[in-house]
Amino acid sequence: MALAQPSPKLQALLKDFQQIASMSGYLNHSFDPPQLRLFFTLYGRVMVASPEQGLALTPQLQAWCDALSIRLREGSSGTIMAPQVQVSAPQTMPDGRDYLVATVTFNTKVTDTSYLRIRTAILAAYQEAVKMREVGFSVAPTGDGSEPGLVVPGEWPPPAGEMAKPD
């Protein structure tokens, strides 16, 4: 029994998703005509001044992942399965800088009809990961005179010069 070959359209869709995933992660796949099964890994990385600051930011990174997971599910109309999230302990790069990494893994099946909403949700998630890698977390005013709170990119546009800085 010969296996059905994926349509040229599904092959083109795969290339599109591979380009998106290359922004901040990677993608495994399998063809199951008339569907394409996609297995994504997205990395959310934030640079920190010290391992101690990394530990302090871990809850914010977890919250960022949780919000991203919800947006993936809602944006894809539930087609993307519930992501699994893992936040690392603070790590040190070879050049001595410290960082935190969150790994978000999720999967979905893509058909010709579900492609657009899935692509839109996944593209937004990967763009958020790139933004966090480039900008980091921002400091938001609380409005009540207390200490500013940390927020994730996309939730509050930070004024110039108000990015999270080490103490």
At 22 the pLDDT is 94
At 138 the pLDDT is 57
Residue 80 and residue 107 in contact, taking contact as beta carbons nearer than 8 Å: yes
At 152 the pLDDT is 42
Residue 151 and residue 57 in contact, taking contact as beta carbons nearer than 8 Å: no
The 3-state secondary structure of the chain, one letter per residue: CCCCCCCHHHHHHHHHHHHHHCCCEEEEEEEECCEEEEEEEEEEEEEECCHHHHHHHHHHHHHHHHHHHHHHHHHCCCCCCCCEEEECCCEECCCCCEEEEEEEEEEEEECCCCHHHHHHHHHHHHHHHHHHHHHCCEEECCCCCCCCEEECCCCCCCCCCCECCCC
At 32 the pLDDT is 84
Residue 93 and residue 99 in contact, taking contact as beta carbons nearer than 8 Å: yes
- Length of the chain equals 167
Extract the residue ranges of the chain whose pLDDT is less than 50.
139-167
Q: What structural domains does the chain harbor? A: 8-136 (3.30.1360)
Specify the 3-state DSSP secondary structure of 102: strand
